Structure 1
Amino acid sequence: MEPVFAPGVPDQVRRLYERRPELFVAADAPRPRRQTSWSAAPGSTFGTLLVWIGVCVGGWIFALIVMAATLPTAVAGWISVALAGVAVLATGGIVVKTMAEDRGHKAVRVQHRKYLLPEDFDDAAGALLGRAQRAVKTVLEATVTRRGLLDDVKNELVLPEQLWDIAQVLREQTVLRARQQDVARGMATAELDAVLGPQRRALALSVDAIRRKVDLLDRYADRVRSADAALRAEAALSDGDRYIELLARTEPAGDTSLVEGFADEANALKDTLTRSINAARDAGKTLALPD
């Protein structure tokens, strides 16, 4: 199972998870604080600045001594002023950098709770979410999708919204399931059963509803796979002329039933491909978002 991001989360944040997953925090954790070099390691940052200032001052004094001995006084004065200016600007830039927030930390802080991590779900919710993610991935990476044969379904808009909605409900189911387990620990009483009974039934109804949604995604993915298979078969059929030429060159007086069959297969395949595409579209339209 992979993390789930809200549709509006920038792509660079999604790529950031691949490079630095340790920055991301679970949904029930507090929002990360603004983090700079000063807040993360003030002692180390201050020590580094002192070393830098010492190097700048020492280098400037050494350069001043050398220039005073080798250059005219006026020239040495102007160069020393220029070097001092460069050192001050460089030091200012370093100070500003130490006060700036790391881009990765800022992205995670700003987008907190607009993504859900695998640890945000229990086993039951994780299993359903994994199925939904695999189905969505199958559809979005399918050849028929990339070629625009299912454009009227608007997969790029509908499926991320569906996945995020499913993930949010599964997260809430995870939280409520854990709360029920905590409350149910210890001695069972009639009062406790009276409270937990309706809650458990409501949770079970929610789980069934989400399972039906995931089943719809699975069926849609199956239809898309079938359309993809028909599309690959059509691509393979385009080599039919080469096989005909091969037979003509090697078996000029041989059995012609294979050659005649190519035309029949082509017609049948076109019908199959059309039916597969239409079936995929019909399955996809059941997932369409309301206007």
Structure 2
Amino acid sequence: MGPEPVFAPDVPVEVRRLFERKPELFVPASSPKPKRQTSWSTEPAATFGSLLVWLAVCVGGWILALIIFALTLPTAVAAWAALVLAIVGVVTTGAVGVGSAVENRKQKAVRLQHGKYLLAEDFDEESGRLLARGQRAVKSVLEATVTKRGLLDDVKNELVLPEQLWDIGQVLHEQSVLRARQREVARGMATAELEAVLGPQRRALNRSVDAIKRKVELLEHYADRVRSADAALRAEAALEDGDRYIELLARTEPVGDTSVVQGFADEAASLKNTLSQTIAAARDAGRTLALPD
């Protein structure tokens, strides 16, 4: 499964939601920036024809109304009614004309944000797999119960993780572009001169790939820690039912048998310690993400 779109942290939420409804409006960063589009630029003939039809309807309707006013109203009232109707028609026609010359709001938002989002088409197979791994890790952290309850607030996941994904996405996109460029240049006859140039470039690209892999692995390590903390939190929640089990056993076990009760108490103490440790480990793993390379 390919990666999901990745957005720069400053891209408005409205644009992100727009992708969910109208993904066809979005243009890959590897493609030229979309031009400003209006009805006149995309369908000039159809727009001109629509305006002519609108004008014909307005003029014809005004003339018909003028005749009806003249037959049914006093002369002065008919004149004022005709004038008001003419003003409404002119204003409406002007609004229609301006609307046809104005860029669609959704298309404008996508055009202005071009380059601040990366689509699946912006990545080759290798980069796409790495980005998808990072996105799964980030999603796992953000959807975890310990995150939603604010137990990891000092890590600032809502800010740090999107920035991490965007940084990773930008580098992976550049790696995809350079890999494609290398394949294109290397196509054909291999020469010593060409290899002298491509060799260092390949080594630099491989070092960059290794560095990004380590960043993705850090995200996955953090996600594993958060999942462990989540599991401990669920286990602690399950212990809240302990009193009901103790009451159940009290009705069936011999009087004076406190081993089960003591077992619940010991388990609760152990779990509290485990939960504290797993949350501390998750926080430590999360803090490493925000440290400079």
TM-score w.r.t. the length of structure 2 is 0.95
Q: Is 1:262 aligned to 2:274, yes or no?
A: no
Q: CA deviation at 1:281?
A: 0.5
Q: Is 1:62 aligned to 2:101, yes or no?
A: no
Pairwise CA RMSD: 1.6
The secondary structure found in structure 1 opposite 2:290 is coil
Q: Is the 8 A contact 1:23 1:105 kept in 2?
A: yes
Q: CA deviation at 1:260?
A: 3.0
Aligned equivalents of 2:12 and 2:261: distance in 1?
53
Instruction: Name the structure 1 match of 2:92.
Output: 90
Q: CA offsets, 1:64-98, max 9 Å, x none?
A: 11111111111111111111111111111111211
Q: Is 1:222 aligned to 2:214, yes or no?
A: no
The secondary structure found in structure 1 opposite 2:69 is helix
AA aligned to 1:148 is G
Q: Is 1:251 aligned to 2:255, yes or no?
A: no
Instruction: Name the structure 1 match of 2:162.
Output: 160
Aligned equivalents of 2:271 and 2:289: distance in 1?
27
Aligned equivalents of 1:103 and 1:167: distance in 2?
27
Q: CA deviation at 1:108?
A: 1.1
Q: CA deviation at 1:247?
A: 3.4
Aligned equivalents of 1:118 and 1:257: distance in 2?
58
Aligned equivalents of 1:14 and 1:110: distance in 2?
13
Aligned equivalents of 1:47 and 1:236: distance in 2?
70
Matching of residues 98-247 of structure 1 within 5 Å: 98-247=100-249
Instruction: Name the structure 2 match of 1:13.
Output: 15
The secondary structure found in structure 1 opposite 2:289 is coil
Instruction: Name the structure 1 match of 2:24.
Output: 22
Q: Is the 8 A contact 1:158 1:289 kept in 2?
A: no
Instruction: Name the structure 2 match of 1:40.
Output: 42
The secondary structure found in structure 2 opposite 1:287 is helix
AA aligned to 2:143 is E
Q: CA deviation at 1:32?
A: 0.5
Instruction: Name the structure 2 match of 1:286.
Output: 288
AA aligned to 2:232 is A
Q: CA deviation at 1:290?
A: 4.3
**Alignment gaps of 5+ in structure 2:** none
AA aligned to 1:72 is P
Q: CA deviation at 1:256?
A: 4.9
Q: CA deviation at 1:33?
A: 0.6
Aligned equivalents of 2:94 and 2:245: distance in 1?
73
Q: CA deviation at 1:245?
A: 3.0
The secondary structure found in structure 2 opposite 1:286 is helix
Q: CA deviation at 1:117?
A: 0.6
**Alignment gaps of 5+ in structure 1:** none
Query: Percent identity over the alignment?
Result: 72
Q: CA deviation at 1:289?
A: 4.5
In 2 relative to 1, CA 227–262 (structure 1 residues): closer, same or farther, beyond 3 Å?
same
AA aligned to 2:38 is T
TM-score w.r.t. the length of structure 1 is 0.95
Aligned equivalents of 1:199 and 1:74: distance in 2?
86
AA aligned to 1:217 is L
Q: CA deviation at 1:261?
A: 1.9
Q: Is 1:274 aligned to 2:276, yes or no?
A: yes
Q: CA deviation at 1:252?
A: 6.0
Q: CA offsets, 1:16-72, max 9 Å, x none?
A: 111111111111211111111111111111111111111111111111111111111
Q: CA offsets, 1:120-166, max 9 Å, x none?
A: 01001111001011111111111111111111111111111111111
